[in-house]
Chains A and B, each alone.
Chain A
């Protein structure tokens, strides 16, 4: 019996009874999550599950197929669960009926239903307790078909003329049926080059729940996750149990008691994915994808040791750790991720692998063929050297004075040991540390070895701001001012202006200039280009303010800030300048090669209090 089987059996009393296996179950449920969940768990346990979305389909299925158990949602589109059961009982000509089990969050509503709710054999409240469902289904399977209630049809008489259903002995490993809302590996990934587009279409419809990995898979097999827009934002359910902590849940080891967590997981992903800004949802940038993935998974990136990969660590997501490390380094630099030290690993300078053999080496020839040898001190003649110098068969003969050493402590002693290189014969008391790369064979001295810090990573406020607010968040459309952000000379000038305003009401306006496209420009053209662009724009702005708006603007002080730039317009009515500001911005932008996406907010003295 497999480990997995044991787990399942221990989770449900009497689970090993063969008679409970292989029930045919109809699930009528309009929530796709509950559908997926029930189907997966029940299929795992060897039952055959059919899914329907509404009451009519459910009734149809019941009439045309035979089921042991029907799990009916009370609130179904079309006919509700009670009506389905009632209609079946009225219409069915079959002598055997399935167990009817109601699933509902609205138990009272069910009980108050006008139709006969007694046609249900059991009621299972929502949210669904998987363990309870399993027990109910399997109890039903064990007991055989329920007694047919008061019926007057002739069919009743056939009760007992037992109709033995022949169920295929569906194996526990049987995969889920084709329909449903999973993207499956490998089924949907068949031709790796082509299915990308097909997948993309599926994923963009947004009606899938999870990525189901049905066969043993490696990170490379699943690389498509990161090449298909937003596929990385779905939970990875590992049916084969080969992805370990990289999958979001390992279904091969899931115990019945944990299945509630599965529903929570899928729901959590749905909910958090819905909060993602479009920019983060559809990004092509692998770094941004990682951020999005961390956000929907609602977990920090946690490293764990893994001797099978080049980096010697893997993270809790299905992505090769080299990419994760490289990308997250940039993200940490950009302030999107915070770090917490995990471990320091050594890195081969030639190929970047951390799979290294660390060994003690001969400082002279770098061989690791070292052995320890005691050395002897012959007191009488003061000869001191390795024991092998003295060895003559079983005797110790001093190589200098040819006397036999026979009395330890009196003739000689052993003041220590020495490390002797078996390759070059060099003797040392200080072997050195060296590394040999297991991937490329490169040898590196211990002190020249590069190291890399592996950290667990968590999203910063900035990252969450970006994920929820999109790139505009990084482009800083400000609606309020923070004085801490202002350059010092601007604060000084502002202070003067504010004093003047308080004394005699001389008005002034402060322009807060943000760049909506700053992030893109920075990424594509680099920070220097962005900085130059900003300077050019400010220069243009100065000219526009001085020439075109000379009548409205007293004196303009344009200041370059950290993330935003500013212009302090002295002796200027904010309300007069406000309508002009769009024009000013576009005029100052026209000559620029790239459009920085200038957004200018005008602050009046009143706004600054």
Chain B
């Protein structure tokens, strides 16, 4: 064992730069640009620090919309958190989506206390999209903020998420999401690092490049006209991605507000995590290549160069990168035989260096997060993200491609699945 590894190290040391490039083509193509380069950009450009007071007159009334199913326990804490905001919402609307617990009764209580302004409990579950649409129908605000019931918020989250709306071109602003239970399990820690890198840092970069393609369903703000123009949410899942894509199509700008921080719980067990990611990836594929597939077709009327960037980004780094990994491994073993494991380890060491670097960058770009306790986990994260999550992604794509599995997702009520696009 040690002999093969030391052989490998000796082998790697003897390579020239050009041959190393050949050896690690996967890393060079799929890892380096995706992270390092863009993160450099972000670190360079990101204008840190708050932009001062917000212009309330230009922003108008702010409505928070919460749609939940059986959230009897979570709703009160969520509402109390919103009431603590430095910019308290003008209106909070809660729709209990066919809850079978006592959520609706709880809403009555909150209503009487004046903690929320409107509440409604439907008797049949209609799915998150329909519930949020009902909220939109009842809302009076100019800026509608969509919030998940199990989220809690940084004191300035609302102020910071509505601030960009002073610019009338902005149609939506995505909030930043931190993992609240980072210490709950090893996988939670990995996810905390993943969110930090891919959302806190990644979306800052995308925002700079005007390429935010998904305003997170957990915490995003929308301009009322924009939402009305595209008809609100379509039947789910992946409704947040779908809505953002449609807003972009309608020429609305979508931003990411790194300083509008919301905290949410990550799945603690590996099975829950895998299930969640299967759902996300399946929905992404369904939406990008089935529902909105023609947007990538240069001959379609709906084709836009601007949209092509994030479409290609997703296709290349997520789909192709995922599929290429097993091919790369096969190629390594076929070409180098016994040296392959050593090369893989070498690649992993290289990746670790990159990950550490990006982590530091992300931590630097996200001063609000308590990042340093996560540092030891970056080692494991490197493997988790580089191999495990890629495999999950490939499995999800295959499943969706072959079985159209997203069409039998319990996240969306059956009656909706039967008919949605």
* A contact residues vs B (CB 8 Å cutoff): 363, 375, 377, 379-386, 389, 400-401, 409-411, 413-416, 418, 427-430, 432, 447
16 sampled A-B residue pairs with Cβ under 8 A: A363-B111, A377-B124, A377-B126, A380-B419, A380-B421, A381-B234, A382-B233, A382-B236, A384-B134, A385-B133, A400-B232, A401-B231, A410-B419, A416-B120, A416-B122, A430-B111
| A418 lies within 8 A of B124 (CB) | no
List residues of chain B with CB within 8 A of the CB of A411.
419
Q: Which of B108, B119, B130 has the most CB of A within 10 A?
A: B130
List residues of chain B with CB within 8 A of the CB of A386.
137
Chain B: interface residue total (CB-CB under 8 A): 36
List residues of chain B with CB within 8 A of the CB of A418.
120
List residues of chain B with CB within 8 A of the CB of A447.
112
List residues of chain A with CB within 8 A of the CB of B156.
none
B138 at the interface (CB under 8 A from A): yes
List residues of chain A with CB within 8 A of the CB of B125.
415
| B419 lies within 8 A of A384 (CB) | no
Known pairs A382-B127, A382-B129, A416-B124; A427 contacts B138 (CB<8 A): yes
B330 at the interface (CB under 8 A from A): no
B226 at the interface (CB under 8 A from A): no
| B133 lies within 8 A of A415 (CB) | no
List residues of chain B with CB within 8 A of the CB of A389.
137
B342 at the interface (CB under 8 A from A): no
Nearest to B134 among chain A residues (CB) is A384
B418 at the interface (CB under 8 A from A): yes
Nearest to A398 among chain B residues (CB) is B231
Q: How far is the CA of A387 from the CA of B31 in the complex (A)?
A: 52
| B416 lies within 8 A of A382 (CB) | yes
| B231 lies within 8 A of A381 (CB) | yes
| B98 lies within 8 A of A380 (CB) | no
Nearest to A429 among chain B residues (CB) is B120
Q: How far is the CA of A418 from the CA of B120 in the complex (A)?
A: 8
With both chains docked as a complex, state the minimum distance between the C-beta of B224 and any C-beta of chain A, in angstroms.
15
Known pairs A385-B137, A415-B126, A447-B112; A380 contacts B235 (CB<8 A): yes
With both chains docked as a complex, state the minimum distance between the C-beta of B58 and any C-beta of chain A, in angstroms.
26
With both chains docked as a complex, state the minimum distance between the C-beta of A338 and any C-beta of chain B, in angstroms.
36
| B415 lies within 8 A of A409 (CB) | yes
Q: How far is the CA of A48 from the CA of B267 in the complex (A)?
A: 100
Give residues of chain B (104-136) contacting chain A, Cβ–Cβ below 8 Å: 104, 107-108, 111-112, 118-127, 129-131, 133-134
B301 at the interface (CB under 8 A from A): no
The 3 closest A-B pairs by CB, nearest first: A382-B129, A415-B122, A415-B124
Q: How far is the CA of A382 from the CA of B133 in the complex (A)?
A: 7
Q: How far is the CA of A432 from the CA of B112 in the complex (A)?
A: 9
With both chains docked as a complex, state the minimum distance between the C-beta of A316 and any C-beta of chain B, in angstroms.
40
Q: How far is the CA of A386 from the CA of B120 in the complex (A)?
A: 12
| B118 lies within 8 A of A428 (CB) | yes
Known pairs A413-B124, A416-B122, A416-B123; A383 contacts B231 (CB<8 A): yes
Q: How far is the CA of A384 from the CA of B120 in the complex (A)?
A: 12
Give residues of chain B (402-421) contacting chain A, Cβ–Cβ below 8 Å: 415-416, 418-421
Q: Which of B131, B137, B415, B418 contacts A413 (CB 8 A)?
A: B415
| A429 lies within 8 A of B137 (CB) | no
Nearest to A380 among chain B residues (CB) is B419
| B415 lies within 8 A of A379 (CB) | yes
| B235 lies within 8 A of A375 (CB) | no
List residues of chain A with CB within 8 A of the CB of B232.
382-383, 400
